[in-house]
Structure 1
Amino acid sequence: MSSPCDPQHAPVGDVGAVLMLIDSRLKTIHEGKTETDPEQQALMDQYVASLGPKGFNDVLDGACTLIYMFMTWLRKAHESQDKDVIEYVVPTLVGSMRMMTKSVRPEVVPTMTGLVVAAGIGLSPNLWRNQYGDWTEEEMTPLEVTAFLLAEHINRITDDPDFATRMITEALSRSDES
């Protein structure tokens, strides 16, 4: 029986734009900076403001697609070691989000956790989230944080600071070819 949250029914969104944002954050952290360069942040803010409502929804869908792709990779990596991705990824993710009190309000941690669990069991995170109503402004930064933390988790597992970004870029390139 097919689920209404099956990824085949989900819009892909603008994965490239979200990947650009996440990659920028990853590079900032790996350069040892604690804050985003104000000029770079202004460019990102200007880009996001230029999107309009449809573009903004495409970015939301793209973030969820990215989370799905990261969790799919993590699930396969964990299964190859006879481990459960939910057991090994979710507690670390929740612990990290709970420490990020300036970016992630406690009340949105369950929603972000639900997105990750949905993706981890093969459901579309955006379709799962949509059943609970519209996205809230309070969920925007935590959504980015969730994608960032998953990418960083993958990079740590692979001991390669660019692995997650490269993996998605290669997948996007393959999909453009077909």
Structure 2
Amino acid sequence: MIFGYARVSSKDQNLSRQIKELEEFGCERIYQEKQSGKDLKRPVYYEMRSKMRFGDVLVVHDLSRFDRNKEDIRNEWKSLTDEEIDIVVINMPILDTRRYKDLEGVGQLVSDIVLTLLSWMVDEERERIRAAQREGIEIAKDQGKFEGGKKRYHAGATGKDKVIYDRVVHY
């Protein structure tokens, strides 16, 4: 079976471009998730993984759809390939494990080197984003424009946040 996995980091982002690519690739089952890629603890991803078996193929648009941490990417890649599940990264054709099966050890070596390099690049991009965010917050603080995130627990809160406010903060 060919599985597709589409992920964006927030509810405001759109999955349609990734889904279209996965459909065009021929994915039989497409799993979608709107959750951060900071780690692999994502319910839809785990559900998909539980259904994958020997000989299946996992297709993603980009390597960063797995995760944004190079060690997590490498560990998950190894776990999938150890289970003999092939992986295809659409925007990086060199990361298609089906291509290297006939090359045996050499193919695995090429795949490992490329994966290591590209997962490092994904990790570095995440660090650049975090650094830019920290710098932006510092500048905003210096200019008196930064007040932090939204208050979650307050008198006007609703639902669980209001209950917590009433029981803990405003007891």
Q: TM-score, normalised by structure 2?
A: 0.27
In terms of fraction of residues, the more helix-rich structure is 1
Higher RCO (CA < 8 A, seq sep 6+): 1
Q: TM-score, normalised by structure 1?
A: 0.26
In terms of fraction of residues, the more strand-rich structure is 2
